[in-house]
Structure 1
Amino acid sequence: MNIRTADPAATTSPGATRWALASLALAMLMSSLSISSANVALPTIAHAFAAPFGTVQWVVLAYLLAVTVFSVGAGRLADIVGPRRVLVVGILVFTAASVVCAAAPDLLVLVIARGIQGLGGAAVLALTVAMVRAAVPSHRTGSAMGLLGTMSAVGTALGPSLGGALIAGAGWRSIFLVMVVMGITAAALALRHLPGDRQAGRPELRAFDIAGTLVLTLALGAYALATTAGETTGAGTAVLVVAAIAGILLFLHIEARAAAPLIDLNAFADRFLRSGLVTNLLVASVMMATFLVGPFYLSRSLGLGEAMVGLVMSVGPVVSALTGIPAGRIVDRFGAPRVAVFGLVEMAIGALLLALLPGIAGVAGYVAALAVLTPGYQLFLAANNTAVMTGVADDRRGVVSGMLSLSRNLGFITGASVMGAVFAFGAAAPVATASGAAVAAGMRLTFLVAAGLMVLAVVLARRGGSGDR
């Protein structure tokens, strides 16, 4: 059971609240841009360093791995020393690493710098959500969560076009120089406008669970590598999966006996937290399927060229950007548990439409289905973040927010692996050589499964959100 605390932002002036939200929004935008803009730079980087794609993809993977494995650790550290301190340090680490990325003399230095950038990104992604409660009054929490969701979507949508324009005009290094400017600005705004940290009152919060953090990092790293490293052999993948399972079991053993555990296992007795984390993972898996399967279907089955594929694929992020803030306001008006369920129902309908409509109406059917699925995602995201973070004690905000970030990232990498396997199974042929009809069959099966996952998420959300906290 979580302990409710006084609203820390209830007496904050509207102007101060707006500036605090601006600092959090810029930090979220920066972290989203760092992924999507780097993706579009991979071919140019491969040419610049004369490296194969299998090696260059680590420019993206190093960042994603670091963000995934350090999210909870960053959150727990924030609970110990203060969320604003850790957020600002995270932004500064991200910014310094961006400088190294821009000046990297070879691919190895670039990949290492991207990993360090991911360390800062882990703190940014976890603590922008954790800081909302301290920065805005409680009756505006949903709107603030919606704004952060909008900034994440704007970064995802803007990254490819901004990255492409920068690369064409000033070279691939310029995409990292932009991050330096954004990072300096975000750090200055955070230092100036975010509320200061209140000293933790309980002595056990002075300890940091180094053993638990190390074991969890290794376990999550093994799992992420098993599901993202495409060139790993079958035996290598099996070894990584076994290592991940063994690592999680060892982590649970350590946490059960730690004086100040990284994750308090008793927290999972809270049905809101359990439901929020699991549904967050399921939703992220489904959203990853749209990015994974969509380009194959649009190009192979519908015969669209590269430019049109990119245009149609941008519909989802654009709709997300437009619906994030309204979604947050809906949460404030109708309550987070109810809106979370409604968002999941809308996502289930959208996934079902993605399985059926494109085969009937082509591109128009695909776009119409996305226009249903994506607003449902934003409703869920704003509502779920609000429901999970509401009522969390101040000394647990960081780690709970880190767990939300972790569940989302695990959903993305699990979705890439599992939903990719479902797609390949449905196509009944190697995807690289499959016919348009085979790809369409894979698409239908993938989103029928996705619709089923969303129905499961609805059941879990209703059970987790019933009753009073």
Structure 2
Amino acid sequence: MSAIDKAEKAAERKWWALVAVCLGLFMALLDVTIVNVALPTIQSDLQTDFSGLEWVLNAYTLVFAVALVTTSRLGDIFGRKTLFMLGIAVFTIGSLLCGLSGDITMLNLSRGIQGLGASAMTPLSLAIISATFSGKQRGIAIGIWGGVSGLATGIGPVIGGILVKHIGWESIFYVNIPVGIVAILLSLWAIKQSKDESAARRIDLFGFIAFTVFMFCLIYGLIQVNHEGNGWTSPEVWWMLGISILALFVFIVGELRLKHPMVDPRLFKIPSFTGSAIAAFCLSAGMYALLFNLSIYMQSFLGLDALETGVKLIAFTAMALLFSPLSGALMGKVSPKGLVVVSMALLAIGVYSMSFLSKHNDPAEWIVLLPGFIIAGIGSGLINPPISNLAIGTVPVQRAGMASGMSNVARQMGGAFGVALYGAILSSRFTSLVTDRIQSLQDDQLSESAKGQVIQAIESAGPLVGSNGLAGMEHDMIFQNDPLFDSYREIARASFVDGTIDIIKIAAVILAIGAVLCLVLIRKKDLRH
């Protein structure tokens, strides 16, 4: 074989390596959004409560966030190709176990395994591209990588809706198996091994453990608010939140003392870097985490099926997909600060406009959400490129990998925190509103003792059952032949909608705070490269 033929084959193999990398990335990001539309079906099939359903999302994002920096570091030390393929294998096995799950505990443990695999696939995919391509080809490859990221996020709800409606919720996980096998075989052939020869061959176990304790206790504490008998005043909740704060303090102090920390807190001395991290956190907490609750509203309350819900969400994802390339083109002409602040403001306005929800459980009422989906989708598309640019462009070049990892961690933290926070607030508000409205019924309609029994039954069922009008509860002993059952049904539905409106407003406030902080913190002079 001539030297020219070898060069042509090597060039061709590079692009196949990009295909392999994009397949892995596609799977990891698809499973962030594809699950949202399947949640009500999973809840019905596995008979879980609201907190169990939250863990379907948070088990994935928690493990993803905690392990992301460590797995990226392992790839630098032991070989990016090796860790990337291992990540695909772990993710594929986790997907198989998810599909085979017969109860919510098994499903959530399997989602954690998926998250572990995704924590290697996502950051290492970009590192492999950087090591494989150079010059203009690297720019093209990264552009394709970014397009696949947007595509996976955008079509996730639609693919999820089709699979759930026509096959079953298990299929959203089984679909990963053939893709994973192809990605492993293609990676084995096409990707060249690369390492960071200058990387210290040490793993920051202290940072990993302290950060794990911080994240787990924070999210677990918030989710425990949903459990019957807990609430915000529960000692268990406050113990978890207290341990979380302590672990965060220990993590920061410890990382400052280490020579090779997992995360260098000193980077947060750079105002623009801090601004980018806040933007990433608020974007996920204020917008992406809210999709969990909006999906439940559209399916359980309005009565849309999984496919119809996925199609309705296209208004948001299509705008994000269309405006992301425009944002990339604008970055050289408009300051990153301007793009981030305007995007966060659009997201806040779009989310707030969703708070005018209808209490009529007519599927056509989803149209109330459409303007918010469009505005927030534009903001979501515009904000992603400048966040990444600020994260790596405001730190020394040798810290760019760490900065990119920290930006991704901020996103995952925001998503996990938002889902847990909104769940805790929704459960608390649902309980409070149901109690007040049942108590307001006339005593000649319902005795005080009967009111207590009805309140306890509805509160125990939780907001998920409340959202679908106490479906199935009419056969419970306490409600049999009760002429007021239709009144209870309307009280539960109204309480669910009012609680959902409250969390939408809170999400808008989170995004607005993010916009203000970015306006104050981000500075053009901080950009190094």
Same fold by TM-score greater than 0.5: yes
Tell me the distance in 1 between the aligned counterparts of 2:349 and 2:207: 41
Q: Is the 8 A contact 2:97 2:107 kept in 1?
A: yes
Task: Determine if the alignment matches structure 1 residue 456 to structure 2 residue 516.
Answer: yes
| Cα gap change, 1:155 to 1:227, in 2 (>3 Å) | farther
Partner of 2:112: 115
The match for 2:83 is 86
Matched-pair contact (CA < 8 Å) for 2:347–2:380: no
Question: Which residue is 2:121 aligned to?
Answer: 124
CA deviation vs aligned residue, 1:33-74 (integer Å, no higher than 9, x gap): 224334444555556656556546544432222112212222
- Deviation at residue 135 of structure 1 after TM alignment: 4.5
Q: Which shows bigger deviation, 377-386 or 360-369?
A: 360-369
Distance 1:88 1:398, change over 3 A: farther
**Correspondence 1:26 to 2:23:** yes
2:222 alignment partner in structure 1: 227
Look at both structures and tell me which one has the larger radius of gyration over its CA atoms: 2
User: What amino acid is aligned across from residue 321 of structure 1 in structure 2?
Assistant: L
**2:304 counterpart of 1:306:** yes
| Residue of structure 2 in register with 1:263 after alignment | 263
Query: Which deviates more, 184-193 or 144-153?
Result: 144-153
Q: Deviations over 1:77-118 (max 9, x none)?
A: 233334333222211211233233344566544433322221
- In 1: Cα distance, 2:187 partner to 2:97 partner: 23
Deviation (angstroms), 1:414: 2.7
Residue in structure 2 matched with residue 404 of structure 1 by the alignment: 407
In the aligned structure 1, how far is the partner of 2:342 from the partner of 2:20? 33
Once the 2 structures are TM-superposed, how far is the Cα of residue 408 of structure 1 from its aligned partner? 0.3
Q: Which of the residues 365, 368, 371 maps onto 1:368?
A: 371
For 1:462, the aligned partner's letter is I
**2:37–2:157 Cα contact (<8 Å) kept:** yes
Question: In structure 1, what is the equivalent of residue 459 of structure 2?
Answer: none
Secondary structure of 2:522's partner? Answer: helix
Contact 2:217 2:243 in 1 (8 A): yes
Partner of 1:389 in structure 2? 392
1:87–1:123 contact (8 Å) kept in structure 2: yes
- Gap runs ≥5 in structure 2: 1-8, 359-364, 435-462, 467-491
Change (3 A) 1:169 1:291: closer
Correspondences of 1:351-366 after superposition (within 5 Å): 351-355=348-352, 366=369
> Is the contact made by 1:95 and 1:179 (CA closer than 8 Å) also made in structure 2?
yes
Correspondent of 1:345 among 342, 345, 349: 342
8 A contact 1:37–1:162 mirrored in 2: yes
Partners of 2:341 and 2:139 in 1: CA distance: 17
Does residue 70 (structure 1) correspond to residue 67 (structure 2)? The answer is yes
TM-superposed CA distance for 1:129, in Å, is 4.1
Paired residues of 2:87 and 2:120 also in contact (CA < 8 A): yes
Partner amino acid for 1:68?
Answer: A
* Aligned-pair CA distance for 1:407: 0.2
Q: Distance in 1 between matches of 2:67 and 2:252?
A: 17
Aligned counterparts, 1:38-187, within 5 A: 38-42=35-39, 45=42, 54-55=51-52, 58-104=55-101, 108-137=105-134, 147-187=144-184
Deviation sequence 1:191-232 (CA, Å, 0-9, x none): 444453134225xx1111222212221222112222345534
Other-structure match for 1:9: none
AA partner of residue 218 (structure 2):
Y
Q: Does structure 2 conserve the Cα–Cα contact (< 8 Å) formed by 1:145 and 1:386?
A: no
Q: 1:416 maps to what in 2?
A: 419
* Percent of aligned pairs sharing the same letter: 24
Per-residue CA deviations over 1:276-326 (Å, capped at 9, x if unaligned) read 2122112222213642564587799xx955256654333212322333344
CA, structure 1 residues 82+227, in 2 after alignment: closer, same or farther (shift >3 Å)? farther
Separation in 2, partners of 1:372, 1:128: 31
In structure 2, what is the Cα distance between the partners aligned to 1:459 and 1:289? 23
CA-CA distance at 1:382 after TM superposition: 1.5
Deviation by residue 1:400-457 (Cα, 9 ceiling, x = unmatched): 3321221001112333355677889999946754469956963784465245224324
Q: Aligned with 2:175: secondary structure?
A: helix
Code of the residue aligned with 1:306 in structure 2: it is L
Give the conservation status (yes or no) of the 8 Å contact 1:349–1:373.
Answer: yes
In structure 2, C-alpha distance between the alignment counterparts of 1:226 and 1:219, rounded to whole Å: 11
Cα distance change, pair 239–102 in 1 and its aligned pair in 2 (3 A): same
Aligned match of 1:240: 240
Using the size of structure 1 for normalisation, the TM-score is 0.78
* TM-fit CA distance, 1:239: 1.1
Q: 1:98, 1:117 within 8 Å by CA — same for their partners in 2?
A: yes
Residue 359 of structure 1: how far off its partner (Å): 5.4
Distance in 2 of aligned mates of 1:296 and 1:105: 22
The residue type paired with residue 279 of structure 1 is A
Q: Residue 30 of structure 1 aligns to which amino acid in structure 2?
A: M
C-alpha spacing 1:455/1:169, structure 2 compared with 1 (3 Å): closer
Deviation at 1:179, TM superposition (A): 0.9
Whether 2:333 is the aligned partner of 1:334: answer yes
Structure with the bigger RCO (C-alpha within 8 Å, sep 6+) is: 1
1:215 is aligned, of 210, 226, 240, to 210
Question: What's the CA shift string for 1:116-138, capped at 9, x where partnerless?
Answer: 22111111233334445335546
Q: Deviation at 1:243?
A: 0.9
> Is the alpha carbon distance of 1:161 and 1:73 closer, same or farther for their aligned partners in structure 2, counting shifts above 3 Å?
same
Task: Classify the secondary structure of the residue corresponding to 2:523.
Answer: helix
